[in-house]
Protein backbone atom coordinates (compact mmCIF):
# COMPACT_ATOMS: atom_id res chain seq x y z
CA UNK A 1 0.00 0.00 0.00
CA UNK A 2 1.34 3.38 -0.96
CA UNK A 3 0.88 6.66 0.86
CA UNK A 4 -1.00 9.37 -1.04
CA UNK A 5 1.30 11.34 -3.37
CA UNK A 6 1.52 15.13 -3.67
CA UNK A 7 -0.95 15.32 -6.57
CA UNK A 8 -3.55 13.20 -4.82
CA UNK A 9 -6.92 14.56 -3.69
CA UNK A 10 -7.81 14.17 0.00
CA UNK A 11 -8.61 10.56 0.85
CA UNK A 12 -12.06 11.37 2.22
CA UNK A 13 -13.05 12.99 -1.08
CA UNK A 14 -12.02 9.86 -2.95
CA UNK A 15 -13.92 7.61 -0.57
CA UNK A 16 -17.10 9.67 -0.74
CA UNK A 17 -17.17 9.92 -4.54
CA UNK A 18 -16.64 6.19 -4.93
CA UNK A 19 -19.28 5.36 -2.33
CA UNK A 20 -21.87 7.46 -4.12
CA UNK A 21 -20.96 6.05 -7.49
CA UNK A 22 -21.13 2.41 -6.44
CA UNK A 23 -24.45 3.04 -4.74
CA UNK A 24 -26.00 4.57 -7.83
CA UNK A 25 -24.73 1.74 -10.03
CA UNK A 26 -25.71 -1.16 -7.78
CA UNK A 27 -28.88 -0.13 -5.92
CA UNK A 28 -30.80 -2.17 -5.03
CA UNK A 29 -29.91 -5.59 -6.40
CA UNK A 30 -26.26 -5.42 -7.35
CA UNK A 31 -24.87 -6.59 -10.67
CA UNK A 32 -27.48 -8.91 -12.14
CA UNK A 33 -25.35 -10.07 -15.02
CA UNK A 34 -22.17 -10.95 -13.21
CA UNK A 35 -24.17 -12.98 -10.72
CA UNK A 36 -24.72 -15.42 -13.58
CA UNK A 37 -21.05 -16.33 -13.63
CA UNK A 38 -20.19 -19.37 -11.60
CA UNK A 39 -18.53 -18.84 -8.24
CA UNK A 40 -14.76 -18.79 -7.95
CA UNK A 41 -13.96 -17.27 -11.33
CA UNK A 42 -11.06 -14.89 -10.96
CA UNK A 43 -9.34 -12.79 -13.57
CA UNK A 44 -6.64 -10.27 -14.27
CA UNK A 45 -7.35 -7.08 -16.10
CA UNK A 46 -5.38 -4.13 -17.42
CA UNK A 47 -6.31 -0.47 -17.64
CA UNK A 48 -5.56 0.63 -21.18
CA UNK A 49 -6.10 4.14 -22.57
CA UNK A 50 -7.64 4.14 -26.04
CA UNK A 51 -6.06 7.51 -26.76
CA UNK A 52 -3.05 9.44 -25.57
CA UNK A 53 -3.51 11.74 -22.62
CA UNK A 54 -2.56 12.50 -19.05
CA UNK A 55 -3.54 10.11 -16.30
CA UNK A 56 -5.50 11.19 -13.22
CA UNK A 57 -7.85 9.52 -10.78
CA UNK A 58 -5.88 6.37 -10.04
CA UNK A 59 -6.70 6.61 -6.34
CA UNK A 60 -10.39 6.62 -7.22
CA UNK A 61 -10.10 3.54 -9.38
CA UNK A 62 -8.23 1.71 -6.64
CA UNK A 63 -10.85 2.72 -4.11
CA UNK A 64 -13.72 1.51 -6.30
CA UNK A 65 -12.47 -2.06 -6.24
CA UNK A 66 -11.49 -1.87 -2.57
CA UNK A 67 -14.95 -0.76 -1.49
CA UNK A 68 -16.70 -3.46 -3.46
CA UNK A 69 -14.39 -6.32 -2.54
CA UNK A 70 -11.33 -5.99 -0.36
CA UNK A 71 -9.79 -9.09 -1.90
CA UNK A 72 -9.18 -7.35 -5.23
CA UNK A 73 -5.58 -6.23 -5.80
CA UNK A 74 -4.79 -3.12 -7.85
CA UNK A 75 -1.33 -2.07 -9.00
CA UNK A 76 -0.38 0.92 -11.11
CA UNK A 77 2.52 1.21 -13.54
CA UNK A 78 1.73 4.86 -14.24
CA UNK A 79 0.80 7.60 -11.84
CA UNK A 80 -1.41 10.67 -11.82
CA UNK A 81 0.25 13.28 -13.99
CA UNK A 82 1.98 10.83 -16.31
CA UNK A 83 1.52 11.16 -20.04
CA UNK A 84 0.13 7.90 -21.34
CA UNK A 85 -0.30 6.59 -24.84
CA UNK A 86 -3.06 4.69 -26.55
CA UNK A 87 -2.68 1.01 -25.87
CA UNK A 88 -0.30 1.37 -22.95
CA UNK A 89 -1.08 -0.74 -19.93
CA UNK A 90 -1.22 1.71 -17.03
CA UNK A 91 -2.46 -0.48 -14.22
CA UNK A 92 -3.51 -3.99 -13.33
CA UNK A 93 -6.34 -5.45 -11.32
CA UNK A 94 -6.72 -8.99 -10.11
CA UNK A 95 -9.57 -10.64 -8.27
CA UNK A 96 -12.96 -12.29 -8.55
CA UNK A 97 -14.36 -11.58 -12.00
CA UNK A 98 -17.73 -10.55 -10.60
CA UNK A 99 -16.02 -7.97 -8.42
CA UNK A 100 -13.96 -6.63 -11.32
CA UNK A 101 -17.10 -6.20 -13.38
CA UNK A 102 -19.15 -4.74 -10.55
CA UNK A 103 -16.69 -1.93 -9.87
CA UNK A 104 -15.43 -1.51 -13.44
CA UNK A 105 -17.76 1.28 -14.51
CA UNK A 106 -17.30 3.27 -11.32
CA UNK A 107 -13.54 2.96 -11.70
CA UNK A 108 -13.56 3.84 -15.37
CA UNK A 109 -16.01 6.71 -15.04
CA UNK A 110 -13.82 8.36 -12.45
CA UNK A 111 -10.55 7.51 -14.15
CA UNK A 112 -11.81 8.60 -17.58
CA UNK A 113 -13.39 11.82 -16.37
CA UNK A 114 -10.44 12.90 -14.26
CA UNK A 115 -7.91 11.89 -16.90
CA UNK A 116 -10.06 13.85 -19.34
CA UNK A 117 -9.72 16.92 -17.14
CA UNK A 118 -5.97 16.38 -16.82
CA UNK A 119 -5.59 15.85 -20.55
CA UNK A 120 -7.63 18.88 -21.53
CA UNK A 121 -5.70 20.95 -19.02
CA UNK A 122 -2.44 19.71 -20.48
CA UNK A 123 -3.50 20.82 -23.93
CA UNK A 124 -4.02 24.35 -22.69
CA UNK A 125 -0.80 24.24 -20.74
CA UNK A 126 1.07 23.05 -23.80
CA UNK A 127 -0.50 25.68 -26.06
CA UNK A 128 0.46 28.40 -23.63
CA UNK A 129 3.97 27.07 -23.24
CA UNK A 130 4.44 26.67 -27.00
CA UNK A 131 3.66 30.34 -27.45
CA UNK A 132 6.89 31.22 -25.70
CA UNK A 133 4.97 33.26 -23.15
CA UNK A 134 5.15 32.60 -19.47
CA UNK A 135 1.46 32.60 -18.60
CA UNK A 136 0.11 29.58 -16.84
CA UNK A 137 -3.27 27.90 -16.79
CA UNK A 138 -5.62 28.36 -13.87
CA UNK A 139 -8.77 26.44 -13.18
CA UNK A 140 -11.98 28.02 -11.89
CA UNK A 141 -14.89 27.20 -9.61
CA UNK A 142 -16.71 25.86 -12.67
CA UNK A 143 -16.37 22.29 -11.51
CA UNK A 144 -18.74 19.37 -11.49
CA UNK A 145 -20.88 19.44 -8.34
CA UNK A 146 -19.59 16.93 -5.82
CA UNK A 147 -16.25 16.43 -7.56
CA UNK A 148 -14.39 19.66 -6.95
CA UNK A 149 -11.55 18.20 -4.89
CA UNK A 150 -11.02 15.46 -7.45
CA UNK A 151 -11.17 17.74 -10.47
CA UNK A 152 -8.86 20.30 -8.94
CA UNK A 153 -6.36 17.51 -8.28
CA UNK A 154 -6.74 16.43 -11.91
CA UNK A 155 -5.97 19.96 -13.04
CA UNK A 156 -2.73 19.77 -11.08
CA UNK A 157 -2.01 16.41 -12.68
CA UNK A 158 -2.42 18.08 -16.06
CA UNK A 159 0.10 20.77 -15.25
CA UNK A 160 -2.41 23.47 -14.46
CA UNK A 161 -2.69 25.46 -11.27
CA UNK A 162 -5.53 25.78 -8.84
CA UNK A 163 -7.27 29.12 -8.55
CA UNK A 164 -9.15 29.68 -5.29
CA UNK A 165 -10.78 26.48 -4.09
CA UNK A 166 -14.05 28.05 -3.13
CA UNK A 167 -15.78 31.18 -1.92
CA UNK A 168 -14.11 30.77 1.44
CA UNK A 169 -10.51 30.99 0.23
CA UNK A 170 -9.92 34.55 -0.77
CA UNK A 171 -11.71 37.73 -1.79
CA UNK A 172 -12.57 38.21 -5.43
CA UNK A 173 -14.43 41.45 -6.06
CA UNK A 174 -16.53 40.98 -9.16
CA UNK A 175 -18.68 43.32 -11.19
CA UNK A 176 -21.69 42.65 -9.01
CA UNK A 177 -19.80 43.71 -5.92
CA UNK A 178 -18.20 46.68 -7.64
CA UNK A 179 -21.56 47.94 -8.86
CA UNK A 180 -22.21 48.63 -5.20
CA UNK A 181 -18.78 49.45 -3.81
CA UNK A 182 -15.93 51.64 -5.05
CA UNK A 183 -12.79 49.61 -5.72
CA UNK A 184 -10.75 51.46 -3.13
CA UNK A 185 -13.45 51.09 -0.53
CA UNK A 186 -14.00 47.45 -1.34
CA UNK A 187 -10.31 46.56 -1.11
CA UNK A 188 -10.07 48.42 2.14
CA UNK A 189 -13.10 46.61 3.58
CA UNK A 190 -11.63 43.31 2.48
CA UNK A 191 -8.28 44.01 4.16
CA UNK A 192 -10.12 45.03 7.27
CA UNK A 193 -12.56 42.16 7.46
CA UNK A 194 -10.33 39.38 6.15
CA UNK A 195 -6.73 40.23 7.05
CA UNK A 196 -4.12 38.09 5.40
CA UNK A 197 -6.27 37.06 2.47
CA UNK A 198 -5.56 37.65 -1.17
CA UNK A 199 -7.69 40.51 -2.48
CA UNK A 200 -8.40 40.09 -6.13
CA UNK A 201 -10.25 42.62 -8.28
CA UNK A 202 -12.09 41.99 -11.52
CA UNK A 203 -11.58 44.75 -14.09
CA UNK A 204 -13.31 45.24 -17.39
CA UNK A 205 -11.39 48.36 -18.36
CA UNK A 206 -7.92 49.77 -17.90
CA UNK A 207 -9.12 52.63 -15.71
CA UNK A 208 -10.35 50.04 -13.26
CA UNK A 209 -6.92 48.45 -13.32
CA UNK A 210 -5.44 51.80 -12.36
CA UNK A 211 -7.87 51.98 -9.47
CA UNK A 212 -7.13 48.45 -8.38
CA UNK A 213 -3.39 49.05 -8.42
CA UNK A 214 -3.81 52.24 -6.43
CA UNK A 215 -5.96 50.38 -3.94
CA UNK A 216 -3.21 47.84 -3.42
CA UNK A 217 -4.98 44.78 -4.78
CA UNK A 218 -2.96 41.56 -4.76
CA UNK A 219 -4.32 40.32 -8.04
CA UNK A 220 -6.29 41.69 -10.94
CA UNK A 221 -8.61 39.75 -13.18
CA UNK A 222 -8.75 41.17 -16.69
CA UNK A 223 -12.19 40.18 -17.85
CA UNK A 224 -13.08 39.60 -21.47
CA UNK A 225 -10.32 41.79 -22.91
CA UNK A 226 -8.56 41.46 -26.24
CA UNK A 227 -4.87 40.58 -26.22
CA UNK A 228 -4.08 44.21 -27.04
CA UNK A 229 -6.12 45.46 -24.12
CA UNK A 230 -4.41 42.94 -21.91
CA UNK A 231 -0.99 44.17 -22.99
CA UNK A 232 -1.96 47.70 -22.05
CA UNK A 233 -2.96 46.50 -18.59
CA UNK A 234 0.29 44.57 -18.23
CA UNK A 235 2.14 47.80 -18.99
CA UNK A 236 0.19 49.56 -16.25
CA UNK A 237 1.08 46.90 -13.77
CA UNK A 238 4.73 46.90 -14.78
CA UNK A 239 4.96 50.65 -14.40
CA UNK A 240 3.48 50.29 -10.93
CA UNK A 241 6.57 48.31 -10.04
CA UNK A 242 8.92 50.55 -12.01
CA UNK A 243 7.66 53.54 -10.06
CA UNK A 244 8.47 51.73 -6.85
CA UNK A 245 4.90 51.32 -5.69
CA UNK A 246 5.46 47.69 -5.07
CA UNK A 247 8.34 45.23 -5.18
CA UNK A 248 6.39 42.37 -6.73
CA UNK A 249 4.05 42.97 -9.62
CA UNK A 250 0.37 42.49 -9.00
CA UNK A 251 -0.72 39.05 -10.15
CA UNK A 252 -2.49 39.41 -13.48
CA UNK A 253 -5.16 37.00 -14.62
CA UNK A 254 -6.86 36.83 -17.96
CA UNK A 255 -10.34 35.38 -17.90
CA UNK A 256 -13.30 35.04 -20.21
CA UNK A 257 -13.77 32.91 -23.23
CA UNK A 258 -10.17 31.85 -23.76
CA UNK A 259 -10.03 28.86 -26.11
CA UNK A 260 -7.38 26.44 -27.24
CA UNK A 261 -7.07 28.60 -30.32
CA UNK A 262 -6.70 31.91 -28.52
CA UNK A 263 -4.71 30.86 -25.49
CA UNK A 264 -1.34 31.45 -27.13
CA UNK A 265 -2.27 35.01 -27.99
CA UNK A 266 -2.94 35.70 -24.35
CA UNK A 267 0.00 33.70 -23.07
CA UNK A 268 2.48 36.07 -24.68
CA UNK A 269 0.95 39.24 -23.28
CA UNK A 270 2.91 39.07 -20.08
CA UNK A 271 0.08 38.07 -17.76
CA UNK A 272 0.67 35.50 -15.07
CA UNK A 273 -2.40 33.34 -15.27
CA UNK A 274 -5.05 32.44 -17.80
CA UNK A 275 -8.13 30.93 -16.25
CA UNK A 276 -10.17 28.47 -18.25
CA UNK A 277 -13.49 27.10 -17.04
CA UNK A 278 -13.60 24.62 -19.88
CA UNK A 279 -10.85 22.43 -18.44
CA UNK A 280 -13.20 21.33 -15.70
CA UNK A 281 -16.66 21.78 -17.15
CA UNK A 282 -16.15 20.83 -20.77
CA UNK A 283 -13.32 18.31 -20.81
CA UNK A 284 -14.15 15.29 -22.94
CA UNK A 285 -13.50 11.99 -21.24
CA UNK A 286 -10.18 10.26 -21.83
CA UNK A 287 -11.34 6.89 -23.04
CA UNK A 288 -9.71 4.26 -20.85
CA UNK A 289 -10.78 0.64 -21.00
CA UNK A 290 -10.34 -2.31 -18.71
CA UNK A 291 -9.11 -5.27 -20.71
CA UNK A 292 -10.02 -8.39 -18.84
CA UNK A 293 -7.80 -11.36 -19.50
CA UNK A 294 -8.00 -15.07 -19.06
CA UNK A 295 -9.38 -16.57 -15.94
CA UNK A 296 -6.92 -17.35 -13.22
CA UNK A 297 -7.02 -19.70 -10.35
CA UNK A 298 -6.60 -18.37 -6.89
CA UNK A 299 -5.73 -20.34 -3.84
CA UNK A 300 -7.75 -19.41 -0.81
Site for a second copy in 33-72 (CB under 8 A): 33-39, 41, 43, 67-72
Task: Please identify, among the stretches 17-25, 83-91, 204-212, 225-233, the one whose residues bind a second copy according to the rule CB under 8 A.
Answer: 17-25
Name the minimum Å distance from CB 247 to a second copy: 5
DSSP structural state of residue 245: S
- Interactions with a second copy, residue window 180-199 (CB under 8 A): 180-181, 186, 189-190, 193-198
Q: Which residues on neighbouring strands pair with residue 199, listed in sequence order?
A: 171
Q: Binding residue for a second copy (CB under 8 A) from 170, 225, 258, 271?
A: 170
Nearer of residues 127 and 178 to a second copy, judged by Cβ: 178
153 contacts 9 by C-beta, under 8 angstroms: yes
Contact pattern for a second copy over residues 110 through 149, marking x by CB under 8 A: x-xx--x-------------------x-x--xxxxxxxxx
Residue 239, C-beta contacts closer than 8 angstroms, at least 6 positions apart: none
Other beta carbons within 10 angstroms of residue 39's beta carbon come to: 7
Q: How far is CA 30 from CA 9, 45, 68, in A?
A: 28, 21, 10
Q: Binding residue for a second copy (CB under 8 A) from 58, 74, 91, 99?
A: 99
Q: At what angle do helices 97-130 and 11-26 cross, to 10 degrees?
A: 130
**Among the options 202, 211, 218, 240, which is catalytic?**
202
- Interactions with a second copy, residue window 261-300 (CB under 8 A): 272-273, 277-278, 281-285, 292, 295, 300
259: contact with a second copy by CB under 8 A: no
Q: List b or e across 73-109, with b for residues whose CB sees 16 or more CB atoms inside 10 angstroms.
A: ebebebbbbbebeeebebbbbbbbbbbbbbbbbbbbb
Task: Please identify, among the stretches 9-17, 122-130, 230-238, 263-271, the one whose residues bind a second copy according to the rule CB under 8 A.
Answer: 9-17
Name the minimum Å distance from CB 150 to a second copy: 9
Quick check: is 223 catalytic? yes
DSSP structural state of residue 293: E
Quick check: is 152 catalytic? no
Q: Of 61, 106, 64, whose CA–CA distance to 79 is shortest?
A: 61
Which active-site residues does the annotation give? 105, 142, 174, 202, 223
Amino acid sequence: MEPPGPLAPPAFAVRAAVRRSLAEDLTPLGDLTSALLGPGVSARATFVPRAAGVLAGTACATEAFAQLDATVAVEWSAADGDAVTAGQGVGRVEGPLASLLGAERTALNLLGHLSGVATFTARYVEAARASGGSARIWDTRKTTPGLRALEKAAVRAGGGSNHRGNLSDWVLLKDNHLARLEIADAVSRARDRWPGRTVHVECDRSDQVVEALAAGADAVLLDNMTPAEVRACVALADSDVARGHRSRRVLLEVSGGVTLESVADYAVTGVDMISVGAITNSAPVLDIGLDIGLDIERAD
